[in-house]
Structure 1
Amino acid sequence: MTEAIRQRLNDSPVARWTVLLIVATAMMMGYFVNDVMSPLETLLEMPREAGGLGWTPSDYGFFSGSSGLINVFLLMLFFSGLILDKMGIRFTGILACSLMVLGTLLKLYGVMVDFGSDMVSFFGFELPMSVAVASLGFAIFGVGYEMTGITVSKAMVRWFTGHELALAMGIQLAMARLGTAAALSISAPIARHFTLSMPLLVSLAFLIIGLLAFLVFCVMDRKLDSSVSSQTTNSEEFHWSDIRVTLRNPGFWLITLFCVLFYSAVSPFLKFSTKLMVIKYGVDTDIAGFFSSIAPFGTIMMTPIFGLINDRYGKGVTLVITGALMLTCVHFGFSLPLHNSTIAIALMVILSIGYSLAPAALWPCVPKIIPLKCLGTAYSMIFFIQNFGRAIIPMFVGKANETDSSYTTSMLIFGFTALGAALIAVAMFYVNRQKGYGLQLPNIKS
């Protein structure tokens, strides 16, 4: 009878897709808030009498980087995974959403209140009080933001294993990037028409909606949990020794190295791509951003499609290899002395396909290698290590652009980084054969 209840709940398409919509909404709200201040740099740097906060570019740079302070330097991203595996999805999700709300409240306070000329010293930085308070809020938000990401990923695995896992992850990723696109599109107009704090007030409302949505998920997840609780064994519970088992898994390290190299060849590139279009391809500054947006907007449409293909036909590692090779060709193409804007558009379209293809197949591979009980720790370690690569590569690219303004050297850096990811994916293909992970098998069980 218990099994029948579990099957009715877990195999119900309505239940599964309702869960996806709920948790993806919470994640989308987090993505919106994470980027809501990005278009406001110019307004923040205006004098207070003109409606700004009088921040300097250095102040804004410190604020922008503050979201990772607690996660990276205090290892909170790693501990978030431990909390998730030890305390469960429901507890960690509520904690994560609450931290995002708390952090945004602090950020709103830092923007709304006039602290006068009060300054704060922080490791050599002399920061206005508004910057310090807003940065503290962003750092706390960042903990909840990353924690929400790994919690939603584990929830997807719990509800969609044996079903449309890759499609579900693809839709969740598409909704998250839609949140980013919305923030970049409407934040500045809202601030100009109302006040500088209004986008944060909207953000706060969105996060509260996300928290309430997650509470609804908790009710559904508790029903699933109670229906299978009698079948839970000690082997399905997380133990600290499971961390050692994860670290000894060669598949885990191959996926981690792939993520470091692949995302280091995409995310930093997108930050440099607008200026690349202007300088190398002569694109007008007013539309250069459109060229750069081809990739993220393309992933919104294509990632779910590739996820569905992976679910039905498998070949996950093959898709990952193909995506990495496409990215490699794009970067080497950008390094060539070709200055036609049509070529730039074509390369960005290919990049968007590769950027959709590899993640759609990669993330569903993780639960095939790592058991559910320690999946949160595995995701958190992957993201933690990945952040170092995404921080180091832009430093090399920035130096390269100072000595070679043609972008040839920097594109070669991105190209060889992507090539490294492709080689790691090939190694993953052979290790999968040896270990029998099943990475080439369909996710939907017949």
Structure 2
Amino acid sequence: MKKDTSGKTWKDSVALRWVVLILVSGLMFSTYWFQDFFSGLKGLMESELGFTSEEFGRLIGFTTIANMFGMIIVGGIILDKWGLRLAGLLFGGLAAVGAVIVALGSAGFFGEDKSVMLNTMILGRIMFGSGLEVVCVVCTRAVVKWFKGYELALAMAINVGFGRLGTALGMALSVDIGKGFVTPAISFAATLIGLTLIMFLIYIVFDIKLDRQVKGQNAGNNLEEEEEEDFRFSDLIKLITNSSFLYIALLCVTFYAGVFPFIQYAPDLLVNKFGFSYNLPEGQGNFILFGSTNFGNTMVYVGLFIFGLAFSMIPSKRKTAAGKMLAYLVIFAVFYAAIYSMRDTLSLWLQNGPKTASLIPLGTILFTPIFGNYVDKKGKAASLMILGSFLLIFAHISLSVFNNVILGYLGLVSLGVAFSLVPAAMWPSVAKIVAEKRLGTAYATMFTLQNWGLGLFFWGIGAVLDLANKQNLEAIRAGEMMYDYTIPVLMLVVCGVVSIFLSFLLKKADRRQKYGLELPSGQKPE
């Protein structure tokens, strides 16, 4: 399609592109919150609802079951055939309904017997999970639609960053929001999804306008409309037989299997391994803003996200090297001053399991926009995936083999950096490998494969945790002993080793197939 030089569309406006990004990213924020907020509630679910580690793992593991058997593929086909607007409403609504069922189940609405509550919550999580991954595909596809040819890697990184912000806040604040109870925390998380669906409705207005503008441009330039082809399974076969796509899809499985499942257990690991607390000391450790501790604590994370954006965006706008350096120094000075002013409260956060575990997505809040901007400007996507995989190995060894709390902190930060590096490099790379009209199916295929790894490890960590502590379970539940997490976390090192191997294969395949994964955005290999 030739570019129209006689008129502009809404996506040519920088301001409108970024408004759209915020509207679309709202769904990423709320669904990731609901996906991961249970991690801060594991101890409370054991004491209040009587769940075991295996039952906790089963609950979060079954979130992936429909996607393991093709729901995301179906969603991708619907996305490619019916468009991202209808797909977003359909699957966003499914996620919201599933979230409501989880909340009602935890409150005993369908019965107060533990097995009834567990099975009802599992049903809700299955429905939520069936919508979750397609919503992620919709959001990613929308960002590509509005930002391709512009700052695509940065926009995708920020979109992912909103998801990580949801994860961080869900982990850190769910115990505070619930005030010692599970159901209020779940109800709040379900409400967030409903609110961000309204944001998506506003986005639809923008998207309809853009399509009309593009259609008008095509008519004015005597261009024929590019007809959408019906989905064919031969398209899927072509995807999975493309070596570059196959390697990046398998890398998506192994890398995320080493991160997302761990996040669900990280607060409990810190409480059991290093003696951290689940609750902050009474009357201490909270930031109060407009009379609300939850709002004050939330703004800390939002502020860190803004600093991450500032580090990646402001210096790049300076024309001289001196100007860039000055911008970095000013932002760092303001950042340091903000952290120093909060040092006493943050020191209490670093002794709290849910708050400290939020360092994992916190790392992505700070670094994903920076790495996304780097990929835009410098490339090196495959190399960054290799580096991220090495950091994954270091993180899990630090948190499993050693009992040193300093190494534990370094492991969490390393995992957060890896969690930024790999997605910031991976998702723009897919857009280079796969034709735009088949991106929905491509992302859906990757998410389907990813869910096999997630489902097995979500449940597997909990099952192995109970098995590894089999002789001491009664004493642990009586509060006389603590869980030993060494074996469950050490097994995640294998995910990092396989990820490195796949990253090298991807880099080798790219040299042969010439997709330009190591090149900056917009630059093509010779």
- TM-score bucket (shorter structure): 0.7 to 0.9
Moved more, 209-218 or 199-208: 199-208
1:369 aligned residue: 433
Say which SS state the counterpart of residue 179 (structure 1) adopts. Answer: helix
1:122 aligned residue: none
Question: Which among 55, 63, 66 is matched to residue 67 of structure 1?
Answer: 63
Say which SS state the counterpart of residue 84 (structure 1) adopts. Answer: helix
1:224-243 matches, within 5 Å, as 224-229=210-215, 230=218, 231=223, 237-240=229-232, 241-243=234-236
Question: Which among 352, 364, 368 is matched to residue 303 of structure 1?
Answer: 368
Q: CA deviation at 1:165?
A: 1.4
2:493 aligned residue: 415
Q: Does 2:391 correspond to 1:318?
A: no
1:390 aligned residue: 454
Instruction: Give the TM-score normalised by structure 2.
Output: 0.72
Moved more, 363-372 or 158-167: 158-167
Q: CA deviation at 1:409?
A: 6.0
Question: Which among 64, 82, 87 is matched to residue 87 of structure 1?
Answer: 82
Does the CA-based 8 Å contact 2:167-2:361 persist in structure 1? no
Q: CA deviation at 1:227?
A: 2.7
Q: Does 2:503 correspond to 1:425?
A: yes
Q: CA deviation at 1:166?
A: 1.5
2:150 aligned residue: 163
Distance 1:21 1:387, change over 3 A: same
Distance 1:23 1:243, change over 3 A: same
Distance 1:135 1:410, change over 3 A: closer
Q: CA deviation at 1:254?
A: 0.6
Say which SS state the counterpart of residue 518 (structure 2) adopts. Answer: coil
2:474 aligned residue: none
Instruction: Give the TM-score normalised by structure 1.
Output: 0.83
2:345 aligned residue: none
Moved more, 423-432 or 5-14: 5-14
Q: CA deviation at 1:114?
A: 4.3
1:49 aligned residue: none
1:123 aligned residue: none
Does the CA-based 8 Å contact 2:432-2:516 persist in structure 1? yes
State the distance in 1 between where 2:42 and 2:270 align: 21
1:273-288 matches, within 5 Å, as 273-274=266-267, 282-285=274-277, 287=351
Task: Tell me how large the CA RMSD over aligned residues is.
Answer: 3.4
Does the CA-based 8 Å contact 1:368-1:438 persist in structure 2? yes
2:256 aligned residue: 263
Does the CA-based 8 Å contact 1:312-1:444 persist in structure 2? no
Does the CA-based 8 Å contact 1:41-1:60 persist in structure 2? yes
Aligned length: 428
State the distance in 2 between where 1:334 and 1:56 align: 25
Say which SS state the counterpart of residue 115 (structure 2) adopts. Answer: strand
State the distance in 1 between where 2:242 and 2:370 align: 30
Give the gaps of 5 or more residues in structure 1: 47-51, 120-125
Distance 1:276 1:65, change over 3 A: closer
Does the CA-based 8 Å contact 2:171-2:358 persist in structure 1? no
Moved more, 394-403 or 287-296: 394-403
Does the CA-based 8 Å contact 1:59-1:127 persist in structure 2? no
Q: Does 2:480 correspond to 1:402?
A: no
Distance 1:113 1:262, change over 3 A: closer
Q: CA deviation at 1:9?
A: 2.4
Q: CA deviation at 1:108?
A: 3.6
1:62-211 matches, within 5 Å, as 62-73=58-69, 75-112=70-107, 114-116=109-111, 127-128=115-116, 130-192=117-179, 197-211=183-197
Say which SS state the counterpart of residue 3 (structure 1) adopts. Answer: coil
Q: CA deviation at 1:430?
A: 1.6
Q: CA deviation at 1:28?
A: 0.9
State the distance in 2 between where 1:271 and 1:204 align: 18
1:21 aligned residue: 22
Deviations 1:60-117 (A, max 9, x none): 55443342233334x2122111111111111101112221222233334434564456
Does the CA-based 8 Å contact 2:75-2:134 persist in structure 1? yes
Percent identity reads: 32
Distance 1:408 1:301, change over 3 A: same
State the distance in 1 between where 2:421 and 2:109 align: 47
Distance 1:441 1:162, change over 3 A: farther
Does the CA-based 8 Å contact 1:3-1:228 persist in structure 2? no
Does the CA-based 8 Å contact 1:302-1:353 persist in structure 2? yes
Does the CA-based 8 Å contact 1:161-1:443 persist in structure 2? no
Q: CA deviation at 1:236?
A: 5.1
Does the CA-based 8 Å contact 2:357-2:412 persist in structure 1? yes
State the distance in 2 between where 1:239 and 1:141 align: 25
Say which SS state the counterpart of residue 127 (structure 1) adopts. Answer: helix
Q: Does 2:413 correspond to 1:349?
A: yes
Does the CA-based 8 Å contact 2:36-2:263 persist in structure 1? no
State the distance in 2 between where 1:11 and 1:235 align: 23
Does the CA-based 8 Å contact 2:95-2:128 persist in structure 1? yes
State the distance in 2 between where 1:204 and 1:399 align: 30
Distance 1:397 1:114, change over 3 A: closer
1:10 aligned residue: 11
Question: Which one-letter code corresponds to 1:29 in the other structure?
Answer: S
Moved more, 340-349 or 34-43: 34-43
Distance 1:365 1:115, change over 3 A: closer
Moved more, 268-277 or 134-143: 268-277
Moved more, 7-16 or 393-402: 393-402
Question: Which one-letter code corresponds to 2:372 in the other structure?
Answer: G
